[in-house]
Amino acid sequence: MLDFLQLISDVAKQTPFFFKNNEITYRLLLPQTIEINQQPSLIFTTSTGGKSLCQWELFVLLNKPEYRQLPIYLQINEQPRPVFGFKLADGKAWLN
């Protein structure tokens, strides 16, 4: 998590974050803590509609001491998917 915060700190504050899988674009919603493989983790709920979180919203939501050592996941089709970073394209950040 701490590495992810450092990476997004260099991104423009209004940059929205997305994830694309099988030509479906997912928007990031709110994070929550859960256990994945018996390990505390942070998972983002996702949606195919609506507004996605922007850099400044992610930074505010994630910049908590209790989150710093947690791995990050996305909830895609009821399955957790790990986040490995992101790339910038077309004014958006696309999670890997």
Which helix or strand (DSSP H or E) is residue 16 part of? none
> How do the domains of the chain map onto residue ranges?
2-95
pLDDT at 78: 87
**Predicted structure pTM score:** 0.91
Q: What value does the mean pLDDT of the chain take?
A: 94
Please determine, for residue 70, whether its predicted confidence score (pLDDT) is greater than 90.
Answer: yes
Tokens 């803590």 sit on residue: 33
Q: From the CB of residue 31, how many other CB atoms can be counted at a distance below 10 Å?
A: 22
Tokens of 59: 């930074």
Specify the amino acid at residue 48: T
- Considering the chain, what percentage of its residues have pLDDT values greater than 90? 92
Residue 1 has what pLDDT? 78
Q: Where does the pLDDT of residue 2 fall: very low under 50, low under 70, confident under 90, or very high at 90 and above?
A: confident
Q: Residue 32: which of 78, 73, 63 has the closest Cα?
A: 73
Could you tell me where the beta strands, DSSP code E, fall in the chain?
17-21, 24-36, 39-47, 72-76, 79-82, 86-89, 92-95
Question: If you average pLDDT over residues 14-36, what whole number do you get?
Answer: 95
Size of the chain, expressed as the number of residues it contains:
96
